Structures are given as structure tokens and as C-alpha cells.
């Protein structure tokens, strides 16, 4: 059994593809560094995440795939699923081996897996854009706590930078303990080894928020309650569109 061990980065997986083709030897298993090796393996090969190698594979993909399929591939990586490296590896190999474009082949399992996971992650990113709520802090920075299923925060940063370019903001991923801070000039990644103080269940302590924050939260709640038409109440549709797992971070549903 042949095993490739990659370093756990997207570039590492692409480099694994490069190595497989240059050695003309394809792995039976693709493992992340530190994962336990299977009992019987006669050929273990460590892949060095060489940027040049990854870059060559990526450029080849750019020639053969549409931008939306490339995006699916990246999204699939951010799903953080245990099998995602292998899915991507197999998909890329299929793309390389085929003379015609395979990206529309929904009936193929590997293609479908990448497209489906790409879609799942893309919709989780979309939900982040929908249901993220900022709270204004006393120092004027807008803070939001989020808890996405997949690691989609990096994919959403460009949206928030463009949209809220004239306000400082901080978005914090509660589950993964890191976030992004924008100071009206540039975005930087910030990590929190332990949960920040003054944050309870995603909500800032009242002593930390701006003076008018409470008022605008009340106004929004009022808006939310008044805009519903009682005669048309439909809780099922509401939950379908706005899953309950987001509610604790929503001003109007808290």
C-alpha cells in the first residue's frame, strides 16, 4: 500500500498531485501529517508543500476548468471534512487525465462530491453574510461573533471589507477561536487562544457596547415583530430559511 503524507494545506494537496505524476506512482491513501498510518504500508512518501509545484498544478487547472469549478474546489477544501484532501486529489487527477472537460459530469461520483461539498460550503458562506450581526462597541468598533459549520470566515472577509469599508470591525469565529480585524485600512487575522472576556454566548457585556447600541437593537426587534403578517404565520418556512442554530446570534430572535 502506498501512502502520501501531506502537510495539511491546500498547496500540500496540489503538490501531492504533482509528485504523483512526476513519480508516475499514485497513492492508495492520502494522509495529513500526524494522522496514524495504516498497518500495512510499504511505501510512505512525504510530500513537501512546495509553492512552485502547487502553482504549476493550479495553472494547469485554470486552463482546464471554469472559474466556478475552481471555486468549488477551493470551497470543498474549506469544508474541513476528513476526506476532503482525497476528494480534491481524485478530482484533480480526473481533470488531468481527461482530454475533455469533466466539470459537468454530475453522474460521476468524484465530480459530484466536489460540486456538492462546494455548494454546501458556498451556502454556509452565504448564510454568514446573511445572519452575521454587528454590535457597536464603546470604542466605535463593530463586533460580531459567528459559529459557521465550515471554516468559511476567510471566504467572507472580502465581502465585509468592501461593504463596511468606512467602519472598523472585528469578526470572531467562536468555534475556531480566531477572527479578522479591519481597521479601515487593512484586514488582519487575529487569534484568541482563549475566549475573550466580556463575551457571553456571542453577546458583549452591556458595559462594553456603545451608548446607542441597545436602542438600535430594540428598534430592530420592533421592526422584526411589526413586519410579520399575523394571518400568514408560517414557522416552518421561517426555520427552513433561517435555521435555528443561528438564532442565538440574532438580535431579533435571541
Q: Return d(Cα 14, Cα 31) in angstroms, integer.
A: 13
Please state the closest distance from residue 81 (CB atom) to other proteins, in A: 19
Nearest to 74 by CA among 22, 157, 128, 151: 151
Binder of other proteins out of 167, 176, 178, 181 (CB under 8 A): 167
Binder of other proteins out of 80, 188, 238, 245 (CB under 8 A): 238
**Residue recorded with cell 435555521:** 243
Q: Is 237 in the site for other proteins (CB under 8 A)?
A: yes
Binder of other proteins out of 36, 52, 186, 235 (CB under 8 A): 235
The secondary structure element, H or E, covering residue 186 is none
Q: Is 132 in the site for other proteins (CB under 8 A)?
A: yes
Provide the strand spans (E) within the chain. Answer: 2-6, 29-32, 43-46, 135-136, 142-146, 169-173, 178-182, 187-191, 199-200, 203-204
Binder of other proteins out of 23, 46, 228, 254 (CB under 8 A): 228
Please state the closest distance from residue 115 (CB atom) to other proteins, in A: 9
Q: Is 233 in the site for other proteins (CB under 8 A)?
A: yes
Q: Return d(Cα 4, Cα 173) in angstroms, integer.
A: 31
Nearer to other proteins, 175 or 184 (CB): 184
Binder of other proteins out of 136, 148, 152, 170 (CB under 8 A): 136
**Residue recorded with cell 504500508:** 41
The secondary structure element, H or E, covering residue 54 is helix 51-64
Binder of other proteins out of 68, 191, 215, 245 (CB under 8 A): 215
Nearer to other proteins, 92 or 137 (CB): 137
Which grid coordinates are listed for 248? 442565538
Dihedral of CA atoms 200, 204, 208, 214 in degrees, nearest 10, equals -130
Nearer to other proteins, 1 or 237 (CB): 237
Please state the closest distance from residue 136 (CB atom) to other proteins, in A: 7
Please report, as ranges, the residues that interact with other proteins according to CB under 8 A: 102, 104-109, 112, 126, 129-136, 142, 144, 159, 162-167, 212, 215-216, 218-220, 222-238, 240-242, 250-252
Amino acid at each position: 500500500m502506498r501512502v502520501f503524507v501531506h502537510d495539511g494545506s491546500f498547496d500540500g494537496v496540489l503538490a501531492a498531485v504533482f509528485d504523483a505524476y512526476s513519480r508516475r506512482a499514485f497513492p492508495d491513501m492520502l494522509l495529513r501529517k500526524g494522522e496514524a498510518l495504516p498497518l500495512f504500508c510499504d511505501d510512505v512518501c512525504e510530500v513537501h508543500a512546495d509553492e512552485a509545484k502547487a502553482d504549476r498544478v493550479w495553472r494547469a487547472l485554470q486552463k482546464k476548468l471554469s472559474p466556478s469549478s475552481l471555486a468549488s474546489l477551493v470551497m470543498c477544501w474549506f469544508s474541513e471534512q476528513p476526506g476532503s484532501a482525497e476528494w480534491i486529489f481524485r478530482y484533480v487527477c480526473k481533470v488531468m487525465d481527461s482530454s475533455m472537460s469533466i466539470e459537468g459530469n454530475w453522474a460521476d461520483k468524484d465530480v459530484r462530491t466536489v460540486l456538492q461539498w462546494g455548494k454546501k460550503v458556498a451556502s454556509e458562506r452565504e448564510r454568514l453574510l446573511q445572519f452575521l450581526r454587528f454590535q457597536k462597541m464603546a470604542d466605535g468598533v463593530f463586533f460580531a461573533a459567528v459559529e459557521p459549520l465550515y471554516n468559511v470566515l476567510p471566504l467572507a472577509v472580502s465581502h465585509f471589507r468592501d461593504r463596511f469599508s468606512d467602519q472598523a470591525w472585528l469578526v470572531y469565529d467562536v468555534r475556531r477561536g480566531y477572527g479578522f480585524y479591519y481597521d479601515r485600512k487593512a484586514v488582519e487575522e487575529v487569534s484568541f487562544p482563549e475566549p475573550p472576556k466580556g463575551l457571553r454566548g456571542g453577546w458583549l457585556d452591556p458595559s462594553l457596547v456603545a451608548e446607542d447600541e441597545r436602542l438600535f437593537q430594540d428598534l430592530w426587534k420592533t421592526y422584526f415583530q411589526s413586519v410579520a403578517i399575523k394571518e400568514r404565520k408560517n414557522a416552518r418556512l421561517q426555520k427552513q430559511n433561517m435555521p435555528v442554530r443561528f438564532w442565538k446570534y440574532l438580535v431579533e430572535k435571541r
